[in-house]
Amino acid sequence: MTTMTEASVREFRMPDVGEGLTEAEILKWYVQPGDTVTDGQVVCEVETAKAAVELPIPYDGVVRALHFPEGTTVDVGTVIIAVDIAGGEAPAAAAAPAQAAAPAVAGEPAAPEAEGSGRQPVLVGYGVAASSTKRRPRKAAEVPAQEPAAAAAVQAELNGHGTAAHAAPAPAPVPSPAAVPAPGPSDASVGKARPLAKPPVRKLAKDLGVDLATVVPSGPDGIITREDVHAAAAPAQAPAPERPEAPQPVPAAAPAPAPVTVPAPVVSYDAARETRVPVKGVRKATAQAMVGSAFTAPHVTEFVTVDVTRTLKLVEELKQDKDMQGLRVNPLLLIAKALLVALRRNPDINASWDEANQEIVRKHYVNLGIAAATPRGLIVPNIKDAHDKTLPQLAEALGELVATAREGRTPPAAMQGGTVTITNVGVFGIDTGTPILNPGESAILAIGAIKLQPWVHKGKVKPRQVTTLALSFDHRLVDGELGSKVLADVAAILEQPKKLITWA
């Protein structure tokens, strides 16, 4: 019994930005219930694991409700705002109940799948999502009412593979033995779309040998949870009898899944003296990436201390050059240029390791990453095709990268596809460090603080500007000789900047 008012309401779902992300945190709402919105107007700002993104609304109308407050982490595909489009040009097919609709893609209304040829709203900075995108399978509660017998049979079969704890909300009548086929591992998955589960859950299922197509989901919107996988794996782990004549020995012989029933230890802390901060957004993504990198790629770090006095003098001269006026000129600029020249002289280090195919992928381009500390955490945007840029172009790109990162406006695309990274720990007064590789890259160069130190120069001890460089590299594809050559070349250029001309 849908009223005309309900039919005019459009529910906008958290879009998928196309980067493999499954959730986002609502940072700020720009509208409130009762506000009028127009097609393309930004209604909120969200933070994914990669960047902060503004979301536009894809229709005209009046805001009816905001479903989540600021600071809430919401799964992709979840309704976040409802807009009343009464008086607008709403398609006739939009009157279907929202709960029967598939999750919308980036900026697409949560209406049933329509074949309309009108506007396809998209997220800012992304292309139009293809209309052929596969949707998740509907939950048991969403099976059409006109097929109760089929629904009951499928549910009974799923219950045979899973556990009674995840049965359908409404108990289905038990079908006759002839109506229920013998349970088989492939029966439940025939004709169904790919089950909806997050990457960690998919990995858990793979490790336990559980077919996700046979798991009954209990999470919101039909998402399979870790508990569902454990429940589905429990019967499989019990040794089943080979002969049917054995009088059901499984319950007595199989060990009970004790870890599932053991209560979690109670963690107490002093609220007056401690603060707990949820790990989410950029911080969560960084933690996962660093753990994956540290325990996947065998790291080797080499160090060199170098006199950069001449480089600092060149920096001061470049600041006065008319071709560099208005650009960001600092030691980082020349260090970046030195690394690019070293990579050109030793191209084999600019590569990545393909674990699936057991191949080394050598890159004929350099997307130079620059690690940037922001209020939301560490991010590593990169300068695309940095190897082709002149010094003024490189200075301009560095300036834009730093300014955008400080404002928290770095787009996700700017943090994809990096090949080699520079991290400047010297700005914090640190001499050096052992940096961890950005996932998918072969090397990362750390720059220490530049300090006036006693140094032997032309046979005499003099005060010179000195810094320590540290290069970490993936020892699967970079051996000690290659890594040493790259680091030595960077040091030689910084000590004698004229090599930028002779080696370029």
Instruction: Give the residue from 474, 373, 485, 382 showing the smallest Cα distance to 426.
Output: 373
Q: Which amino acid is at 36?
A: T
Tally Cβ neighbours within 10 Å of residue 321. 12
Distance CA 467, CA 449 (A): 6
C-alpha–C-alpha distance, residues 391 and 287, integer Å: 34
Joined tokens for residue 131: 């209309």
Q: Give the Cα separation of 479 and 481 in Å (integer).
A: 6
Instruction: Choose among 184, 278, 264, 190: nearest CA to 227.
Output: 264
323 close to 392: Cβ distance less than 8 angstroms: yes
Q: Are 136 and 102 in contact (CB under 8 A)?
A: yes
Catalytic residue among 67, 230, 364, 475: 475
Closest CA to 344 of 132, 464, 486, 189: 486
Coil, strand or helix: which one is 242?
coil
Cα–Cα nearest to 437, from 494, 386, 477: 477
Positive or negative, the CA dihedral 36, 37, 42, 45 is positive
**Which two three-digit tokens encode residue 382?**
């990169």
Q: Write the CA distances from 337 to 110, 340, 389, 397, 435, integer angstroms.
A: 49, 5, 9, 12, 20
Tokens of 283: 């911080």
CA distance readout (Å), 183 to 175, 179, 232, 239, 494: 14, 12, 14, 17, 70
| Eight-state DSSP code of residue 20 | S
What tokens does 200 get? 């960690």
The one-letter amino acid at 314:
L
Return d(Cα 62, Cα 86) in angstroms, integer: 8
CB 465 within 8 A of CB 451: yes
CA distance 77 to 106: 9
Q: Tell me, yes or no, if 475 is annotated catalytic.
A: yes
Contacts of residue 131, Cβ cutoff 8 Å, sequence gap at least 6: 120
3-class secondary structure, 416? coil
User: Which residues, in sequence order, are bridge partners of residue 224?
Assistant: 197
Tokens 């499989």 -> residue: 236
What amino acid positions are annotated as catalytic residues?
Answer: 475
